[in-house]
Structure 1
């Protein structure tokens, strides 16, 4: 043992002390590059999806306009304005349904965030394969503070409740569906009780917990309640009714205002849009919705005029959805920018330093 005091002992080289820190820093440095690459790829994918949506929307509007120009020019301006208004009202009801579905899953978000996630996400359906809308909504709701797994389950629940309400409301359009396909009409009759059974809160709770288990997430802390599920279903039904009214307003310009026509339009549009979602291989269910609508309108007008009305309805939907999605996206960007500026503009108090 040395008799020298500790202060006289030779100092250890700096690198001997730094080795553990350097060794520990290597994984961080090594992990930084994959993280940066992953972030770059994610941003590139987002840009690619955005550009794809814009191109798809431009193509959809251009192709629809060439087919529907003559019908649009024959419609009164107030008919177009009123139809657009009911589309926006239907979107609002759909947003409320989406918000109630998230609340039922113990993931409540403010109305503004719900509108932004839903309206911007809806633009994804114009890409080939309507599932893109669900992917975008899942990602957007994650940014609103909901986990990706919970957001994905919420999207599935919303689609299920929306489909259930569409099938129920669509019963009013069964006569038109029988004209298109007897098998499809019988299928709707069979699916209605099955869908209602799956929407029953105890059953839906088990289905949600099963999905969460497959995603390796904790089950719901509380079972779904009838009150919250009924609210989501009710707002879905309201959206289908409002969408059907906009079709009826367009059709009434050629066939007159009849209650029987209103009931047919509400049921047919609900079934047509529901079928368009289920047939997800085509963008926004193009062609599927129109077939049901033309069959519903054929008793009141010529088939060619009915097709023009159906295409005019789709074009109005496209324009309204693009407008609502753009406003929601810009509003969301402004809120995030203001929050960022507010956070970084705060000056620390020197007295508390």
Structure 2
């Protein structure tokens, strides 16, 4: 929490804000540029329909994570209109591309402050949303373990033990207490209201939907490159992506789990299709996720700029046209 507190203090400096934004965008763009040749090769082997379906699934996945976060934020007492939610969430998510694992949380707190959301509430909402993703991803991955190959199954047997323990954290009384302890250690005021069963349940459901959509994106790309079209391979893609995301998130030294996520997917799905085709699948999956993140950030930035004149006019007592 001390790291988070120092980061929050630093990001309030305007120079740091712009430097952070420039670095985050640069790293995200580099993630696409670095694998551009392989991505062009992959796109040439895929049909336009397959690529289009993958893009739609990617957008739907990212939006489902936005909705899950928005549900948590509303449950904590700060319902946010759709436009504002896109602005705050979209811009904050490029913080994933800066090593450290806390920058998207910090960015969401600072951006939310412009919408009169207390920073401690923004911090809690994003932290809870991320925790829900980690727990639900682990649970979804565990449910899909029977579809893993014998070679890769042994490496993931520990997940079946960890998942039920993590699931306990999603009980509102438990999670509210955990947040309270964390805020006390950080010397911050406690939340005004506890998390509800309904709010956490809805956010968890949206998170599970997200894993299904993300797995479907990988599956559509993989089947376009030769993976057998069966319910078993779909479950393999869903479980593989969920666990790959969790591992990538836990390795905070690399931006957005770069490399770690792809390595896990290669290991989990390696027995289901040839290596070259699988490598192209995971590279294109990563690129689509990155491009959609950038697109959502761009949309958020446009909404922020569009709303600024209204804010200035309102502050001077003028009525926006």
TM-score (norm 2): 0.89
2:195 — aligned with what?
224
Q: For residue 202 of structure 1, report the CA deviation from its aligned partner.
A: 1.1
> 1:75, 1:39 → 2: CA distance?
45
Confirm whether residue 48 of structure 1 aligns to residue 29 of structure 2: no
> 1:40, 1:276 → 2: CA distance?
24
> 1:122, 1:154 → 2: CA distance?
14
8 Å contact kept, 1:153–1:212: no
Question: Is the alpha carbon distance of 1:230 and 1:296 closer, same or farther for their aligned partners in structure 2, counting shifts above 3 Å?
Answer: same
3-state DSSP of counterpart to 1:255 = coil
1:195 — aligned with what?
166
> Which of these residues, 78, 100, 123, is aligned with residue 129 of structure 1?
100
2:303 — aligned with what?
331
8 Å contact kept, 2:10–2:16: no
Confirm whether residue 82 of structure 1 aligns to residue 73 of structure 2: no
Alignment of 1:76-155 (within 5 A): 76-155=47-126
Structure with more relative contact order (C-alpha pairs < 8 Å, separation 6 or more): 2
Unaligned runs of 5+ in 2: 1-8
Q: For residue 212 of structure 1, report the CA deviation from its aligned partner.
A: 2.6
Question: Is the alpha carbon distance of 1:177 and 1:220 closer, same or farther for their aligned partners in structure 2, counting shifts above 3 Å?
Answer: farther
> 2:261, 2:235 → 1: CA distance?
17
Question: Is the alpha carbon distance of 1:296 and 1:113 closer, same or farther for their aligned partners in structure 2, counting shifts above 3 Å?
Answer: same
> 2:162, 2:19 → 1: CA distance?
38
Unaligned runs of 5+ in 1: 1-37, 348-353
2:286 — aligned with what?
314
Question: Is the alpha carbon distance of 1:133 and 1:220 closer, same or farther for their aligned partners in structure 2, counting shifts above 3 Å?
Answer: closer
> Which of these residues, 158, 175, 181, is aligned with residue 129 of structure 2?
158
1:252 — aligned with what?
223
Q: Deviations over 1:227-271 (max 9, x none)?
A: 111011111111111111111110111224221111111111111
8 Å contact kept, 1:173–1:296: no
Question: Is the alpha carbon distance of 1:119 and 1:40 closer, same or farther for their aligned partners in structure 2, counting shifts above 3 Å?
Answer: closer
8 Å contact kept, 1:172–1:268: no
Q: For residue 96 of structure 1, report the CA deviation from its aligned partner.
A: 1.0
Confirm whether residue 266 of structure 1 aligns to residue 238 of structure 2: yes
1:303 — aligned with what?
275
> 2:92, 2:11 → 1: CA distance?
22
8 Å contact kept, 2:96–2:255: yes
Question: Is the alpha carbon distance of 1:39 and 1:98 closer, same or farther for their aligned partners in structure 2, counting shifts above 3 Å?
Answer: closer
> 1:41, 1:213 → 2: CA distance?
22
1:276 — aligned with what?
248
TM-score (norm 1): 0.81
> 2:297, 2:151 → 1: CA distance?
35
